[in-house]
Structure 1
């Protein structure tokens, strides 16, 4: 593991590495260095080009782009969220998944609606919010199983999902529709709809959520919120991709 991390760190300042260079860097035999390089290649972190040199693979590039996108997401999204809050009578959230909870990167209050504070969302189980369910729908089954090892789920209101099988069924529906809804599942007086934000590799960076009073969240309101949220999310995703393309990457010093 240590040798693999050292090799990946090599690409901070270099565009490629050979087996002999890797062996010298790691102070191991060429055969040992080759095995480590091959493992990284087989898992997508490196790719082998002509001349037997190894360079950054799609997985390493995706991680780098995802990290960069996360860095700029709040700044890129903020003016869009602010504009949406001027026309939608709701709270507008920018959320992501971290530390087994949903965390908010920002929130704007539209037209006098104030139902929760910025950090309130992190106090609740992931599956009780529209944002959380949407983020869960993009996780691998093994990751979901690690978060939910038991058949019975934690509930906070009478409308919270109670069983893992219910959650899995809803996550499959969310994957097909590309949005999530909750009504009274996290707090009985609130409801919300969430849509995804995508990066350059179509990876999910976070979600845009619109929340408001549950008693005002009828089908027409939900549809209206969804249309506006999707339009805003598409604009944010477009801008974050443009921001990354314009970013000046450090030029490697040596091959």
Structure 2
């Protein structure tokens, strides 16, 4: 004999169904109003407003500045990003970095910092110049690398103190940052300008710039770095490489966001 559902069970099932219908709406629409939600759920506007408010309280949706419409919130995007992470960042980034490589004869890297001396390389492209190999770079202290300093800048000073308990820092060349106070000052500049530079700091003949690579909800995925001979990083060339690297990084981020919304990539 089939058990009958109680009124409470039916109410809960209805609430879950309404929530799923509202979340599914964002698959093809960027925002929804209370009246649109009421029509979608076939309920009174007051009921639709309660459903939207509950989803907003849990971060699945958020109210636009006007207050009249709701759009996807950080939790919904985080879940989508988790699903997207099954697609390799390398596969998404490759066409944009290959396009970047046509503009710069250099080495191009996607780098993550796992600990104070552990890196993972999602991609390494060499176009016309090869100064270092991933295993060589990974043996260098992060504060001697443009990408390393950029990733360190995302940490708090308290976290930096844990990674670097001593005032004296390990160096790779005579140009390396050798004191924590100096490192903290440079990290403040990186936070301000949102890019990092190293000139002859990890290898005596190399230079590099690095910019952040952000995901679909603006979380830091890693650093995009362009490296080459130190003489190729005079102020004008440095600015040009930062600009080109930022363009590539933003294109990758936009592609990720498009995929989250079910749209094709930009290329």
Q: TM-score when scaled to structure 1? A: 0.69
User: Please, which of 101, 107, 110 is the counterpart of residue 94 of structure 1?
Assistant: 110
Aligned to 1:45: none
TM-score by length of 2: 0.66
- Which stretches of structure 1, 4 residues or more, deviate above 6 A after TM superposition? 53-63
Unaligned runs of 5+ in 1: 1-14, 16-48, 248-255
Secondary structure of the 1:119 match is helix
Give the structure 1 partner of residue 211 of structure 2: 195
Residue 243 of structure 2 corresponds to residue 223 of structure 1: no
State the distance in 1 between where 2:159 and 2:109 align. Answer: 24
Structure 2 residue corresponding to 1:157, chosen from 173, 176, 190 = 173
Residue in structure 1 matched with residue 139 of structure 2 by the alignment: 123
Distance 1:56 1:224, change over 3 A: closer
Contact 2:59–2:74 (8 Å) recurs in 1: no
Q: Counterparts in 2 of 1:31-180, with a 5 A limit?
A: 64=79, 67-68=82-83, 71=86, 72-100=88-116, 101-110=118-127, 112-180=128-196
- CA 108–200 in structure 1, closer or farther in 2 if over 3 Å, else same: same
Q: CA deviation at 1:142?
A: 2.7
Q: Larger relative contact order (C-alpha < 8 A, sep ≥ 6)?
A: 1
**Aligned-pair CA distance for 1:63:** 6.4
SS of the residue aligned with 2:178?
coil
1:233, CA displacement in angstroms? 0.7
Report the Cα offset of residue 60 of structure 1: 7.0
Distance 1:199 1:159, change over 3 A: same
Shift of 1:82: 1.1
Structure possessing the higher radius of gyration over alpha carbons: 2
Contact conserved, 1:69 with 1:199, CA < 8 A, in 2? Answer: no
Deviation of the 1:64 alpha carbon: 5.0
- Which of 199, 222, 233 is equivalent to 1:183? 199
Distance 1:54 1:87 in 2: 45
> Structure 1 CA distance, aligned partners of 2:201 and 2:84?
31
SS in 1 for 2:134: coil
Q: Give 5+ residue unaligned stretches, structure 2.
A: 1-15, 17-52, 62-72
Alpha-carbon distance, 1:70 to partner: 5.1
